[in-house]
Amino acid sequence: MLLSTYQMPVLPGLDTPRDVYFALTDPAPLAGMAYPSWSPLWDNLYQAGLRHIVCLTADAFPYDPAPLRPLLATRLEDLLGQHRPKDPAAEGPKVLRAAAAVARAIAGGQGVVVHCAGGTGRTGTVLGCSLRLLGYPATEVVHWLDQLNHERGMGGWPEAAWQASVVEGIADGAAIRRPTRGGS
Helix (H, G, I), strand (E, B) or coil at 114: strand
Write the DSSP symbol of residue 113.
Answer: E
Catalytic pick among 23, 28, 101, 116: 116
**What is the edge-to-edge ordering of all strands in the sheet holding 20-24?**
20-24, 30-33, 111-115, 50-55, 69-73
Q: Are 35 and 57 in contact (CB under 8 A)?
A: yes
Question: Could you give the dihedral angle defined by the CA atoms of residues 140, 145, 146 and 150, in that order, rounded to the nearest 10 degrees?
Answer: 140
Active site includes 55? Answer: no
Known catalytic residues?
Answer: 116
